[in-house]
Amino acid sequence: MTTLSDMPAGRATEKPREIPPSMVERMTLILDAFERRSSRLNLEEVARRTRLPRSTAHRILDQLVRLDWLEHSSLGYGLGRRALGLGGQGDGHNELRQVANSYLHELHLRTGMVVHLSVLDGAEEVFLDKIGGRFASRLASRVGGRGQAAFTSGGRAMLAGCSPESVDELVGPQLEAGLVSGGWTLGELHQELNRIRQRHGLSIDRTGDRSLGFASVAAAVTGPEGVSGAICLCPESPKVPLERFAPLLLAVARRISQDLRTEDAAPAPQQTAAELLRKGPEARRAAGR
């Protein structure tokens, strides 16, 4: 039997060779580099925090983006749908729901309209919340339901907050290929989005929103990375002058946007819709300007 004394000199004290980290370990290092849900890092920052070679970090980042563990935009890399789901964030819209919740209820109570909260998912608008009375059951919309963003007031409000190039990329293929019957051509859509921008982001549909079946008015809300969602009001009567509620809607959208840009936004807004209404029409116009 071989003993330590039989081994060559220095063999017993030789340090074990370091094993390179596995792919799983390197992926974990990269995901751990994003300390908060809102963290945005560029390639250099990821390589520095993980101490991985830049080329290795870039290759793994690309794989994580393809698999939805991360997302990539002009602002850098951020946690994606799968990473947020594992972290208890569900679909990643919990923060938007939390910040907007009290505003939605106030808007319904003060206007009597059905209030929707939605987000943009590619070329589609997805409804996150719907608040209203008996009239709400007459609307075709439902929480979790989808509609073509080009043909909804909320969808167009969000598209108006995107660059023309992004709009072409998101909805251009569907419109040009005729995958959705009726509605806008791409050129007509761009003209309408320009009109919405000229109205400070207000999107009005008097003929009947395709996803709702009734007239509606909507405004987008923005976060640190741009458009985050939209709030839409739908009156029971088509005779309601939607422009009357424009200052209030724009002011509330602006307040939610401000809260979303705050890193640790409090659930309660700084100024509720009820408080905005009590200030009178002139103050509401100023707030929505």
pLDDT in tens, 210-240: 555 578 889 888 877 778 889 988 887 767 7
Running DSSP on this structure, what letter comes out for residue 136? G
Q: How far apart are CA 203 and CA 194, in angstroms?
A: 10
Which segments of the chain have a pLDDT < 50?
2, 4-5, 7, 10-12, 87-90, 181, 263-270, 280-289
What digits encode the pLDDT tens for the residues 161-194? 888 888 888 887 777 766 554 567 788 888 889 8
Give me the residue spans of the domains in the chain.
23-86, 94-288
Length of the chain: 289
Helix H or strand E segment including 126 = strand 124-131
- The answer to whether the pTM exceeds 0.75 is no
pLDDT recorded at residue 285: 47
Q: Report CA-CA distances (Å) from 161 to 20, 56, 225, 229, 249.
A: 46, 35, 11, 10, 16
Residue 200: both structure tokens together: 């400070």
Residue 238: both structure tokens together: 């088509």
Q: How far apart are CA 32 and CA 30, in angstroms?
A: 5
The architecture (CATH level 2) of 23-86 comes to Orthogonal Bundle (1.10)
At 204, the amino acid letter reads I
Class of the CATH domain delimited by 94-288: alpha beta
